[in-house]
Amino acid sequence: MTKDKNYDVSLVSVGTIDSELHFGPFSYEWWIVCNQEMEFLVPIRLHMKVVTHLSGHDFILTVVKGNREHFEQPGYICTCGSFYTTEPSISSSNAISTVYQQMFHTKTRFSGPMIMGFDKPDICKKLLEGVLFRPYFVNLELVRVFVFGIAREI
């Protein structure tokens, strides 16, 4: 699929922010770039649910905690009618592509972030509601630092 593809995505459930997941040791996995030019990060919320309309069918993607590789990373479940992923996938791309391939017997692959609506400003805005601190990247020559919290001394 091309990067310029505009998918019909609706946010069904915004999900929740889990302080341990979104601001803890594995927080890097729970944030995604929404705006490529500015590296604007938004949370991949636990229990977030979107519906994407493809080829006349509604594909439902849900974010869960854990996947087959790591219990602290996001997992993605996809369902469409009687087709579904049997275990949480390591990426939204893998989840939706697996179900689509089951249904249509093709090798079609999809871009997970776009399928989840992370390229849509209105969805990104809803995912940021109630977020008091947004992590960010600091680039120091060859080193890229992920800042997921700032502490102050009392």
- Would you say residue 2 lies in a domain? no
**Mean local confidence (pLDDT), 141-146:** 87
- Would you say residue 23 lies in a domain? yes
Q: How confident is the model at residue 80 (pLDDT cuts 50, 70, 90)?
A: very high
- For residue 100, what are the domain limits? 8-147
Task: Look at 4 and 93; give whichever has higher pLDDT.
Answer: 93
- Would you say residue 152 lies in a domain? no
Number of domains in the chain: 1
- Would you say residue 121 lies in a domain? yes
Please give the mean pLDDT across all residues of the chain: 91
Q: From CA 61, how far away is CA 23, in angstroms rounded? A: 23
DSSP 8-58: EEEEEE--B--HHHHHSTTGGGGEEEEETTTTEEEE--BT-EEEEEETTEE
User: Could you tell me the end-to-end alpha-carbon distance of the chain, in angstroms, rounded to an integer?
Assistant: 52
Q: Which CATH number is 71's domain given?
A: 3.30.160.360
Q: From CA 63, how far away is CA 88, in angstroms rounded? A: 9
Beta strands 57-65 and 83-84 are unpaired
∠ Cα 114 118 122 (to 5°): 120
Q: From CA 91, how far away is CA 72, in angstroms rounded? A: 13
- Would you say residue 75 lies in a domain? yes
| Tens of pLDDT, residues 24-79 | 889 999 999 886 666 689 999 999 999 999 999 999 999 999 999 999 999 999 99
User: Is a pLDDT exceeding 50 seen at residue 1?
Assistant: no
- Would you say residue 12 lies in a domain? yes
Q: From CA 54, how far away is CA 78, in angstroms rounded? A: 13
- Would you say residue 153 lies in a domain? no
Q: Cα-atom radius of gyration of the chain, to the nearest Å?
A: 16
- Would you say residue 110 lies in a domain? yes
* 77 contact partners, CB below 8 Å, separation of at least 6: 61, 62, 64, 84, 85, 88, 89, 95
